[in-house]
């Protein structure tokens, strides 16, 4: 398989100039006349995801973005297996943004879930047509031919390679969906097997093309001084000293935000230069003054207090069963607690970057984006051009976690290219990345339970208050969006007769966006920390307590839908408590839970949580020394994400999730004073280092025949509560606020 090692895109004029320049060589040139992928132009193009050439090459389109998950390899594997292709003859082509592929938003752990079936059909349909082509070629019944490993064999031993059959196949109709015969899973050669990613060798050799590597001939570089407070507007700028920096060409003002914010550029002043160094040096010399606007009073400490105060009072009911108030009114034993999760940043390894060229009302851009279709929409809106006139090429992403599905940085490059008349590369440094993120929401939560004679909750009340992502899409949205409520809040799976979930309003003072596992981060932290507190009150084994709280295995969608108008039952992915029980039991067994003894600085915590339609249990082991330093010798996962395409990719995602979750729980916190984000780099916003990350992560996949569900995100939510529960078991210190680094454990 081959991929381009380097991207260099040129304008139509630049392409012609290059062709006629003495000795010029343009690599990977894509002028408008040549746009359209190899699969589209193949001798036979049976699917938008597939093309076959007469030399036997199979071109499979990867329409999702690769950011370390392996999705650029895993989806094509399904096509290749159903096609009975020789993997050595497969070429993977990265798709540009185009609605014909369906959603290209590589987010929400939904790539396999949403497109596995389409890939099965694409491969199986083409295989069936190749068999029909061979049968026609030899004049035999199609039932007497069979495709295997890139060759079709006939009843008398005839053989024809796929390339030989392409011309005939291209003239035959595709089978109707009801006629498509998928392979027997027992015959799969790739699906369900550990396979290396197609990018492995390039990445190991440093040849992968990321957003920072993308180039366009004649491009200039931009560093942008952005408003220090969300919604601040530029009142004046003195750029005289900036223009004295060698290499600086000019400065350009960018308009600020208007509501709804969506994926607009933040605005500010851009320094345009010959190189990044000059651009950033010139930016330092700018003297800009700002009208700080309505968010200048935002203080994260005061905001925290307000969230918790709101959570302590009755709020909007989003799910109700029985009569919680009546049970509390009876008196008896109750337990209550408040929990807090701070503002968080994505902090992906590669900060945002993009290069764009505007010419004759059209834009060509290269970007490390999780959603090239969002790039088309945002750029077209910003420039007032048609969506189809925005071409977005997708590079590899040096991490994303949800940040790079928000293409404000691509909009910046496109607007600047239009302003200066050249291709412009916008580069964010780490400080930009942290200060101007679409932050993961801060949240305050309140929990209260009336405890029955058996130690189980007879009544359960929960309140959640957080600034909603919905504010980015609808002006002044103050309550949680439906999807946020469905992330570990109204979908609580416990067997509790009297249950009420509430949601309170919160103002939005910074840009809020989805991050790896989204609202599950804070909802799982509060819910499962509270479960552990109730189990401790009952002096019960945590696994036994959990299993009793979950209750018997059953599908509970209809039950929740009666109690919560927001909940929409999903027939394909129902909430099945039997699967939740199963992962908890497997995790307990594989971690040898029954023989774990906590105390004396050593402790164990266990959590079972459903997110992104997958069922996950995690056991975290901790050691807390005399100075209060926490070490994590082991994390054990049991995971049921349905049918598996590549087990190795699943395991790697959970290994990464354990580290990501550890960083959130132990270290992550963004703060604001006067509306300005205080953290600038990893010295003030640390991520887990090698001595802080879990030393061993065991991942046990629970066999399942259920449809494939999420993998990239579900490993994150259980870590923070399991870690904090383990610390309680080790030290007796209960952690209700993150990050852990601020807690006193001795």
Same-domain status, 406 and 366: yes
Give the integer Cα–Cα distance in Å for 649 and 71.
9
**Beta-carbon neighbour count of residue 3 at 10 Å?**
17
Query: pLDDT tens-digit profile of 166-200?
Result: 999 999 999 998 999 999 999 999 999 999 999 99
Would the CA dihedral through 307, 308, 312, 316 be positive or negative?
A: positive
pLDDT at position 7, please? 37
Domain with 165, as residue range(s), is 37-204
pLDDT at 670 over 80: yes
Q: Is the same domain home to 129 and 241?
A: no
428, 430, 431, 434 alpha-carbon torsion, rounded to 10°: 100
> Of all helices (H) and strands (E), which one includes residue 720?
helix 719-731
Nearest residue to 464 via CA among 491, 498, 495: 491
How far apart CA 221 and CA 696 sit, in angstroms, is 43
CATH number assigned to the domain comprising residue 335: 3.30.365.10
Tens-place pLDDT, residues 53-87: 999 999 999 999 999 999 999 999 999 999 999 99
Measured at the CA of 96, the angle between CA 93 and CA 100, to 5 degrees, comes to: 100
- Mean of the pLDDT values across residues 95-102? 97
pLDDT-based confidence at 640, cuts 50/70/90? very high
Do 107 and 231 share a structural domain? no
- Region 358-375 average pLDDT: 98
The answer on pLDDT for 683 being more than 50 is yes
| Cα distance between residue 101 and residue 113, in whole Å | 15
- Predicted local distance difference test score (pLDDT) of residue 25: 23
384 with 454, same domain: the answer is: no
Q: Of 147, 178, 204, which one is at a domain's C-terminal end?
A: 204
Residue 121 in any domain: the answer is yes
451's tokens: 């405890």
- The answer to the question of residue 736 being in a domain is yes
Closest by CA to 665, choosing from 607, 610, 736, 616, is 736
* Rounded distance between C-alpha atoms, residue 6 and residue 8, angstroms: 7
23 within a domain of the structure (yes/no): no
pTM equals: 0.94
User: Rounded CA gap, 473 and 287, in Å?
Assistant: 32
Q: Where residue 12 falls among pLDDT bands split at 50, 70, 90?
A: very low
- The average pLDDT across 7-17 equals 37
CA 446 to CA 376: how far, in whole Å? 41
Is the pLDDT at 33 greater than 50? The verdict is no
Task: Give a yes or no: residue 92 inside a domain.
Answer: yes
Total residues belonging to the chain? 746
What average pLDDT is seen over the chain?
Answer: 94
Tell whether 609 and 595 lie within a shared domain.
Answer: yes
CA distance 624 to 599: 10
Rounded to whole angstroms, the Cα distance separating 344 from 347 reads 9
Nearest of 318, 270, 643, 599 to residue 420 by alpha carbon: 270
Cα separation, 72 vs 511, in Å, equals 30
Same-domain pairing of 413 and 460: no
**pLDDT score for 624:** 97
| For the chain, percent of residues with pLDDT exceeding 90 | 94
43's CB contacts (< 8 A; 6+ apart) are 51, 52, 53, 54, 166, 167, 170
Q: Are 374 and 406 in the same domain?
A: yes
Evaluate whether residue 20 is within a structural domain.
Answer: no
Same domain, 334 and 402: no
Count of beta carbons in the 10 Å neighbourhood of residue 549 = 20
Residue 36 confidence class, pLDDT cut points 50, 70, 90 = low
Q: Would you say residue 20 has pLDDT above 60?
A: no
Residue range 131-149: mean pLDDT, rounded = 98
Residue 101, CB half-sphere, CA atoms under 13 Å: how many? 26
Q: Which of 187, 204, 221 is the last residue of a domain?
A: 204
CA neighbor of 371 nearest in space, from 342, 346, 406: 406
Domain termination residue (choose one: 204, 236, 257): 204
Q: Same structural domain for residues 255 and 167?
A: no
pLDDT of 519-568, one tens digit each?
999 999 999 999 999 999 999 999 999 999 999 999 999 999 999 999 99
Q: Is the pLDDT of residue 8 over 80?
A: no
């Amino acid at each position: 398989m081959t991929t381009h090692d380097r991207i260099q895109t040129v304008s139509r004029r630049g392409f012609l100039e290059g062709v006629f320049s003495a000795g010029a060589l343009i690599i990977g040139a894509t002028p408008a006349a040549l746009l359209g992928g190899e699969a589209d132009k193949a001798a036979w193009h049976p699917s938008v995801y597939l093309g076959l050439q007469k030399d036997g090459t199979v071109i499979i389109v990867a329409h999702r973005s690769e950011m370390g998950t392996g999705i650029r390899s895993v989806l094509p594997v399904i096509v290749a297996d159903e096609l009975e292709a020789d993997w050595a003859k497969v070429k993977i082509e990265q798709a540009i943004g185009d609605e014909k592929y369906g959603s290209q938003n590589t987010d929400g752990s939904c790539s396999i879930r949403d497109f596995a079936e389409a890939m099965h059909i694409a491969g199986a349909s083409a295989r069936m047509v190749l068999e029909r082509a061979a049968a026609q070629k030899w004049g035999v019944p199609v039932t007497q031919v069979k495709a295997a490993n890139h060759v079709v064999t006939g009843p008398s031993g005839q053989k024809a390679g796929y390339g030989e059959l392409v011309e005939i196949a291209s003239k035959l109709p595709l089978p109707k969906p009801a006629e498509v015969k998928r392979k027997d899973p027992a015959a799969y050669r790739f699906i369900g097997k550990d396979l290396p990613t197609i990018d492995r060798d390039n990445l190991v050799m440093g040849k992968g093309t990321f957003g920072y590597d993308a180039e366009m001939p004649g491009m200039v570089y931009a560093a942008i001084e952005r408003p220090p407070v969300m919604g601040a507007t530029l009142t004046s700028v003195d750029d005289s000293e900036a223009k004295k920096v060698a290499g600086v060409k000019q400065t350009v003002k960018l308009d600020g935000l208007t509501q709804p914010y969506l994926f607009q550029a933040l605005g500010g002043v851009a320094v345009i230069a010959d190189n990044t160094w000059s651009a950033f040096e010139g930016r330092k010399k700018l003297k800009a003054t700002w009208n700080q606007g309505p968010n200048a009073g935002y203080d994260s400490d005061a905001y925290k207090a307000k969230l918790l105060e709101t959570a302590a009072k009755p709020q909007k009911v989003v799910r109700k069963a029985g009569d919680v108030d009546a049970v509390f009114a009876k008196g008896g034993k109750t337990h209550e607690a408040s929990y807090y999760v701070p503002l968080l940043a994505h902090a992906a390894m590669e900060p945002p970057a993009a290069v764009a060229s505007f010419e004759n009302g059209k834009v060509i851009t290269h970007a490390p984006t999780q959603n090239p279709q969002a790039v088309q929409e945002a750029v077209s809106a910003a420039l007032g051009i048609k969506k189809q006139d925005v071409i977005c090429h997708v590079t590899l992403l040096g991490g994303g976690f949800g940040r790079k599905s928000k293409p404000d940085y691509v909009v910046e490059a496109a607007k600047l290219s239009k302003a200066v008349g050249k291709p412009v590369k916008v580069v964010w440094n780490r400080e930009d990345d942290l200060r101007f993120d679409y932050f993961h929401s801060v949240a305050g939560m309140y929990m209260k339970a009336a405890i029955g004679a058996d130690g189980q909750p007879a009544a359960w009340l929960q309140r959640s208050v957080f600034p909603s992502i919905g504010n980015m899409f609808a002006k002044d949205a103050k309550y949680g969006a439906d999807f946020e409520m469905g992330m570990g809040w109204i979908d609580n799976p416990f067997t509790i007769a009297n249950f009420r979930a509430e949601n309170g309003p919160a103002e939005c003072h910074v840009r809020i966006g989805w991050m790896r596992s989204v609202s599950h981060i804070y909802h799982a932290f509060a819910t499962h920390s509270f479960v552990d507190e109730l189990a401790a009150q009952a002096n019960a084994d945590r696994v036994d307590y959990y299993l009793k709280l979950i209750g018997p295995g059953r599908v509970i969608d209809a039950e929740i839908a009666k109690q919560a108008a927001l909940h929409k039952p999903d027939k394909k992915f129902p909430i099945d408590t039997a699967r939740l029980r199963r992962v908890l039991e497997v995790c307990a067994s594989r971690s040898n839970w029954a023989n774990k003894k906590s105390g004396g600085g050593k402790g164990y915590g266990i959590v079972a949580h459903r997110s992104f339609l997958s069922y996950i249990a995690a056991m975290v082991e901790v050691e807390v020394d005399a100075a209060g330093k926490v070490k994590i010798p082991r994390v054990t996962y049991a995971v049921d994400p349905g049918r598996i395409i590549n087990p190795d990719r699943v395991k790697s995602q959970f290994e990464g999730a354990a580290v990501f979750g550890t960083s959130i729980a132990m270290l992550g916190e963004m703060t604001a004073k006067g509306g300005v984000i205080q953290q600038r780099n990893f010295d003030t916003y640390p991520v887990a280092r090698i001595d802080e990350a879990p030393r061993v992560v065991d991942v046990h996949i629970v066999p399942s025949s259920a449809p494939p569900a999420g993998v990239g995100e579900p490993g994150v939510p259980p870590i923070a509560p399991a870690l904090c529960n383990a610390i309680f078991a080790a030290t007796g210190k209960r952690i209700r606020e993150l990050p852990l680094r601020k807690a006193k454990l001795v």
